Structure 1
C-alpha cells in the first residue's frame, strides 16, 4: 500500500497524509509540524511504517490551525481556541487574542512615532502633538503605597496597587478623586524610583486608622502604605491614550509637558504623576485614559 492510498478504519474512512493534505489544502510538511506541536495529531500512526492517517472530520481543524497561525497566534492560544470547539467560546478566545494584538500594534505605532521623532532630531515637532493645559486641584486626603520598581514591573504593580487602594478606600469614606501614580525618582529599566500609587479618600480620620492597621499588619511586604493631606496644586498636564501609556512612549508626553513648562516660565513643585481617570479594562488603545502632569508654580 502506498502512503497516498485511502484505507478503511473500524469506525470511518482514514486518509493518508497525502490525501488528507490535499483535502485540507495544506502541505504534508505543515501537517507533520502541527503533529509535532501538539495541535493536530493523526487519528492513527502505522506501527510498522510510521505512516500518519487522518479522519476526514479533521479537515476543518487543520484549516483552522493554519489560519490561526497566519494571525501569529502563539501555540498555547491556538490550542485553547481549537480545544474550545465551534461556537461562542472559541469565538470569544479569538476575539480576546485579537484585542491584545490591536493594543500591541497601537502601542508599537506610538513607539515608532516617538523613536522617529527622536532619531530625526524633530523632538519639538513631536511634542507639538500634545496639547498642554493647566488645572487647579483642591487639597485632598490620599492613601498610598510606595514601592521601588523597574519599568518592566511597573504596569502590573500600578494595577495591583490601585486596586488594593480602591478596595481600602471603602473603609475611608470612599474614593474622592482621580487615582494617580507619583514618581519620586526616575523609573526605567535601570532606575527603580520609587513610585507611589495614590487614591484620594473622603474621611481623613478613617484613612489614618487604616494606615495604622496597615503598618501593624505589613510584615515583609515590598511596599509601604501611608496617608497624608495633599495640598491644593496647580497641575500642567497633557491627556494621552491607552496606547501612549506604555513605556517608553509615555516619555514623549512627559517631555512635552516639561518643554511647555519651560516656554511658559513655570517650575515643577513636586513629583511628576500619571492620573488614571478611566476604567482601564473597558477602554481601547485609542481611548484617553490618563493625564501626564507636573505640579507647577
Structure 2
C-alpha cells in the first residue's frame, strides 16, 4: 500500500504487447472480444484502447492452439469455459469428429482414384446387387432440407419420432427408410425424406392431422414395386463412403437394362445402435422397372 493507494500487482498490457505475448494478432483479439471468448480486462472509455492482464496470456495461447486444430470458435468457447477433465473430454469429442471426417474423405479419395483411373468395374465388384419386390405400404413421412454434416443426426431423430408416432397408427409395418429427392452434400441440401411404414392408414392420417404440422409429417401410400439394392455395413453408411454403393447400384441397373423410376433411398433393416462397424445395416436402393 502507498500514499496513492494499492499497487496493482499485474500491470495492464496494451493490445499490441498482449498480442505479441499471446501469439495472436490484434485483429484476432478484437474478434474474440466481440464473441466473448477473450474479453479485455479494461477498455479506455475515451480512447477505446484495450488492455489485458498478464494472467490472460495462458487462455489466449490455448485459444490460438485450438484454432490450429481448425476448431470452430463456438467449440473453443466451450472448451476454454469448461476447464480440467471436462475440457479434455470436449477436445476428445471434437477430434473424434475430425478423424471420422478424415476417414470419410480418405475413402472418397480412394474411390475417386479408382474412378479416374478407369477401375470402376473392379470397385463395383465390392457390392453385390440384386432386385427385390416390395409390397405397397402406407408410410408416415417427415422431410427436411439438410446438408451432409447434419444428415446423420436428423435421420436418427426423425426416424425415432416417426416410429414413436407409429405406435398410434397400428405399429411399424416395415423397415424404415430415407428417400433423397435431390442431392445431399456439403453444398446441396436435398430435401431428404424419412419414412416409416405403418399398419393403419386411417389412424395415420388422423395422427398427422392432429400432430403433424410442427414437423410437416405427412401420410403417403407407396405402391408396390421393385428395388435394385446392395447391402452395406454400418461403416459404409457414412458419407462419403456410401456414394460408391449408390453408383454401383446405378451402373448395375443400367447394365441390366432396368429403368430407374424414382429417387434413391436407404432402407435401414437392422438395429443401428446395437450394430458394429462391420455389421450389415442398410440397403442402398433404387426403384426400377
Q: Distance in 1 between matches of 2:242 and 2:269?
A: 16
Q: Aligned match of 1:80 in 75, 78, 84?
A: 78
Q: Deviations over 1:85-117 (max 9, x none)?
A: 3332x2343233223322322332233233333
5+ long unaligned stretches in structure 2: none
* Structure 1 residue 72: Cα displacement: 0.8
Cα 1:222–1:36, aligned 2, differ >3 Å: closer, same or farther? Answer: closer
**1:72 partner SS:** coil
Q: Deviations over 1:72-95 (max 9, x none)?
A: 11122212221223332x234323
Match of residue 60 from structure 2: 62
Cα 1:179–1:118, aligned 2, differ >3 Å: closer, same or farther? Answer: same
CA contact (8 A) 1:106 1:285 kept: no
Cα 1:41–1:181, aligned 2, differ >3 Å: closer, same or farther? Answer: closer
Matched, 1:208 2:202: yes
Q: Distance in 2 between matches of 1:144 and 1:75?
A: 39
CA contact (8 A) 2:146 2:192 kept: no
Q: Distance in 2 between matches of 1:42 and 1:199?
A: 53
| TM-score, L = length of structure 1 | 0.66
CA contact (8 A) 1:142 1:228 kept: yes
Match of residue 182 from structure 2: 187
* Structure 1 residue 292: Cα displacement: 0.5
Alignment coverage as a number of residue pairs: 275
Cα 1:53–1:136, aligned 2, differ >3 Å: closer, same or farther? Answer: closer
Q: Deviations over 1:185-210 (max 9, x none)?
A: x5237999886532234xx3x44322
Q: Distance in 2 between matches of 1:282 and 1:32?
A: 48
Q: Deviations over 1:208-246 (max 9, x none)?
A: 322244257767975642256757x67531305456543
Cα 1:287–1:96, aligned 2, differ >3 Å: closer, same or farther? Answer: farther
Q: Aligned match of 1:95 in 92, 97, 105?
A: 92
* Structure 1 residue 44: Cα displacement: 4.3
Match of residue 230 from structure 2: 237
Match of residue 168 from structure 2: 171
Match of residue 3 from structure 1: none
> What pairs with 1:1-297 in structure 2 (closer than 5 Å)?
10=7, 12-14=9-11, 16=13, 26-27=22-23, 29-30=24-25, 33-38=28-33, 39-44=37-42, 50=49, 52-56=51-55, 58-88=56-86, 90-128=87-125, 130-134=126-130, 139=135, 141-145=137-141, 152=147, 155=151, 158-159=155-156, 161-182=158-179, 187-188=182-183, 196-201=193-198, 204=199, 206-215=200-209, 224-227=218-221, 236-241=229-234, 244-246=237-239, 250-261=242-253, 265=256, 267=258, 271=262, 272-277=264-269, 289-294=281-286
Q: Distance in 1 between matches of 2:58 and 2:272?
A: 37
Cα 1:226–1:48, aligned 2, differ >3 Å: closer, same or farther? Answer: closer
